[in-house]
Amino acid sequence: MSPARPAHEQPGAIPASVPYDEYGGIIQDPASVDPDSIDWRKPTPFPALLRLHHTNGLRGSARHVTWRDVYSPATYPMFADDLPHTIRGTVIDHGVIASAVWVPITRRGRYGISLKTFHEQEEHLPAPAPASPAEESAARYIDREHVVQLIRDTFSMGEPEEDLPPDLKTLIRHIREDHQQ
């Protein structure tokens, strides 16, 4: 916990494992439930349509809200401090948070969910494989031809390439040259 921020303002951490109940909902305090009924799983972001189910008064140390899945009896606790961010950062349609991705977090020894921030929701594409020399050469040629076409469209007014001024012909020839390395 950062000394600069009080406990209720801490962002939460991704836990090593998350306690789920028999319906697939997250258990806020695993100590209050029969240990045999807990399904511990790896924390993974999940999309869900959630509707506000219970606010628990939003007072004291048990300040949390409970969200309920629209299509199942699964419930998910959320720390009350995350509620304003969730309301501002989502689309709410008839009381349902639409098209959001949630992440399980832990804060102050309790479990809950939090809205993934927009930059976290973007899927990171794998790095492309390095191009072969032939592919690089073809890409350069395609890019050069695009530049030649732009030059022709800008300066030639539809004239054939043979009728262009000598300076433009020289420029186009230099653009098209492929240096062998």
Measured CA to CA, the distance from residue 3 to residue 163 in angstroms comes to 74
50: exposed, middle or buried (Cβ count in 10 Å: 0-12, 13-18, 19+): buried
Measured CA to CA, the distance from residue 12 to residue 105 in angstroms comes to 6
Measured CA to CA, the distance from residue 117 to residue 103 in angstroms comes to 10
> Residue 92, SS3?
strand
Measured CA to CA, the distance from residue 29 to residue 21 in angstroms comes to 11
Residue 4 pLDDT > 70, yes or no?
A: no
pLDDT in tens, 57-106: 666 555 788 999 999 999 999 988 888 888 888 888 888 988 889 999 99
pTM greater than the 0.75 cutoff: no
